[in-house]
Structure 1
């Protein structure tokens, strides 16, 4: 049994580990444990809604942006132009993390960077287009409904 847990742990923390598609309540629980409920004034349902519309809860999601050549990474689709470092691409790398760290099932780098984005951006969660389009000003109770939080 210890060997199974060790393998799972290593798969999650090593950069080459596989991503994970979370279930809604599973993600809500993890994000709550990691301190996002109420962070910067945003309730947990905002974070879960945003993650759904950005990546469909997929930690391995990427999206290339034709308009500026940047790429969005991970469950929160964090952008390589400003927040993370993607290879030798020019980046402000405000989160001081490689973008590849945002693609594993280990949510710690994603959450740490999301906390920086929401506090450093003048728009708060408005930094995420999907949050503005689908979550802002909406009843988001469905995103945590039925979850044992």
Structure 2
């Protein structure tokens, strides 16, 4: 009985850490995006990426927004669940980035403080014919 309570407490603690996400400051995000190869990627400069992520999420990795078509946008780049990620809620999700949008599908979704998967998906999005206009 006691071990089950401890196990539940540990599980809840892990979920809280994953859900908390992170709000980057401008310099910290710029450095992460540059190291990840986004500066100049597909013709989009670092300021393009910084500006887009600011207006989409205010540099906040845990933002989720609902759209009129019942899809949702997730994370720092507001990746859409209809086209790019799977949230388990959006019917007929294409999941082109092959990534979970959020919990409970994975502890490594687009809402955690590790934006590596977000960056990989954003690169996939701009390879689409719409490029940055997808946002």
| Fold shared, TM-score > 0.5 on shorter chain | yes
Q: Is 1:47 matched with 2:49?
A: yes
Find the counterpart in structure 2 of residue 23 from structure 1. Answer: 25
> How many pairs were matched up?
114
Shift of 1:17: 4.8
CA distance in 1, matches of 2:61, 2:29: 11
Q: Is 1:74 matched with 2:75?
A: yes
Contact 2:18–2:113 at 8 Å: present in 1 too?
no
Higher fraction of helix: 1
Find the counterpart in structure 2 of residue 84 from structure 1. Answer: 85
Please report the TM-score for the alignment, with normalisation by the length of structure 2: 0.80
CA distance in 2, matches of 1:118, 1:105: 22
Contact 2:19–2:62 at 8 Å: present in 1 too?
no
- Displacement over 6 Å in runs of 4+: none
For residues 27-56 of structure 1, the C-alpha deviation after alignment (integer angstroms, 9 at most, x for no partner) is 000000111000011110000000000000
* C-alpha RMSD of the superposition: 1.6
- Structure 1 gaps of 5+ residues are 1-10, 129-149
Q: Which has the larger radius of gyration?
A: 2
Please report the TM-score for the alignment, with normalisation by the length of structure 1: 0.73
SS in 1 for 2:73: strand
- Structure 2 gaps of 5+ residues are 1-13, 103-108
